[in-house]
Amino acid sequence: MKFVKQTMVLSTALGVLGTAAAAQEVNVVSWGGAYEISQVEAYNKPFTEATGIRVNMIAADNPATPLKAQVEARNVTGDVFDVEVSDAIRLCDEGALVEIDPAILPPAPDGTPAVEDFIDGALMDCAVANIFWGTVIAYDTTKFEGEAPSTAADFFDLEKFPGKRGLPKNPKRTLYLALIADGVPADEIYDKLGSEEGVAQAFAKLDTIKRDVVWWEAGAQPVQLLADGEVVMATGYNGRFFDAIVGEGKPFEIIWDGQYMDLDMFVIPKDSPNPEAAIEYLKFATDTQRLADQARYIAYGPARKSSAALVGLYQDGETEMAPHMPTNPDYLTTAVMDDPEFWADHDAELTERFNSWLAAN
């Protein structure tokens, strides 16, 4: 389905590009869904108003895939791509991306230069972060009478909290959770995962719930699985759960213990069709106000320190956003931050091992 969808997305994108007039425009490839809507509302509309440059939004399951394909085929059609940190680093090292000088980014309203205003790790040679997002556990409150689960360890406790679990079908966002649930402190996760015993320990913990796991691949699936009653607990992207809870009034509750934090980065590929417009868009979308505005539409944390103070209410006008932000200090004690270097080295190896573990009955 993923491939079909991507082909469809690509062909639609090509169609759009083919018919587009010569007027100034910029093609932004992002993740679709509620996230895309938040970007359209917070970035694209004011950008077009301010500059007259039209923004074409293109959805992909993971924008790094079409980026790599376009660069390989030497036919780049997207100008700005929204990718994960590990992909940004990898693509930058492979020479697929334009280097971005942080000095061109607008300073904070109080004059703090962008280099200091962005949170550590949010600026890279070829990429500028826009938001933090978390992979968190959510459960269906109607399924647990009496005591409700509250920790990552509860996710693995089938006796106390019986029922199916939803987990993503990749090693990156499953192995760490198993270790956290097994009592490994958040700051020792990557040391553990780098060692044979640590990996074995993670798989052993996963073994305890393997028979009761429904595996998901696309971000919309865990929410759907919970809503269908197919699972009682699932991990998923905090923005999507927020959307289901606040936007659709679903009886879900989020467990912030053991969240996995990622950054999303804007990158510009080499030989993009509208390089100047791409830079303009990137500068505009990552300024203090725009990043704060995005939180009105989705529960992802802005990558600038100066944006935090401007984050207010959700678009419904009554929900306070701060308790829903993955960057809320209360949730950071057991949060595991994505380590792109680790995953660049070990992703292939651990993915192979994970698949082997999955396929064995």
Partner 1 sequence: MSDALDPHAAVATTAGGVATGRLTTADGRPLSRALARSQMRARRRAFLLVLPLLAFILITFVVPIGQMLQRSFHNDGFSRNMPQISAWFAENPRGTDPDEAAWAALAADLTAAAEARTIGVVGTRINYDVPGTRSLFTATGRQVRGGIEPPFREALLEINEAWSSPRLWNAMRVASSPYTVNFYLASMDRTRAEDGSIQKVPPQQQVYGMLFMRTFWLSLLITGLTFLLGFPIAHLLATLPMRKSNLLMILVLLPFWTSLLVRTTSWMVLLQQQGVINDILVWMGVIGGSQRLQMIYNQTGTIIAMTHILLPFMILPLYSVMRTINPSYVRAARSLGATSWTAFRRVYFPQTLPGLGAGALLVFILAVGYYITPALVGGSSGQLISNMIAMHMTDTLNWSMAAALAALLLAAVLILYWVYDRMVGIDNLKLG
Binding site for partner 1 (CB under 8 A): 1-4, 6, 61-62, 64-65, 68, 72, 89-95, 164, 169-170, 203, 213-215, 217, 228-230, 341, 344-349, 351-353, 355-361
The residue (of 314 and 354) whose beta carbon lies closer to partner 1 is 354
Query: DSSP string covering 132-153, please?
Result: EEEEEEEEEGGG--SSPP-SHH
Min separation Cβ 7 and partner 1, Å: 11
Q: What is the largest CA-CA distance in the chain?
A: 63
Q: Which is nearer to partner 1, 214 or 246 (CB)?
A: 214
Closest contact distance (angstroms) between CB of 359 and partner 1 is 6
Shortest distance, CB of residue 220 to partner 1, whole angstroms?
Answer: 13
| Cβ-based nearer residue to partner 1, 103 or 360 | 360
Distance CA 316, CA 355 (A): 42
Query: Of 97, 18, 100, 105, which is closest to residue 64 (Cα–Cα)?
Result: 97
| Least Cβ distance, residue 244 to partner 1 (angstroms) | 17
Return phi, psi of residue 107, to 5°: -75, 170
Residue with smaller CB distance to partner 1, 9 or 277: 9
Give the angle 252-326-64 at the CA atoms, nearest 5°. Answer: 100
Shortest Cβ distance from residue 358 to partner 1 (Å)? 4
Closer CB to partner 1, 187 or 352, in the complex? 352
Q: How far is the CB of 77 from partner 1 (least distance, A)?
A: 18
Cα distances (Å, whole numbers) of residue 330 to 14, 74, 131, 259, 292: 45, 46, 18, 12, 20
Give the number of other CB atoms < 10 A from CB of residue 60: 23
| 4 vs 22, beta carbon nearer partner 1 | 4
- Whether the Cβ atoms of residue 280 and residue 51 lie closer than 8 Å to each other: yes
Q: Rg of the chain's alpha carbons, rounded to an integer?
A: 20
Q: Which tokens in the block code for residue 20?
A: 């587009």
DSSP 7: H
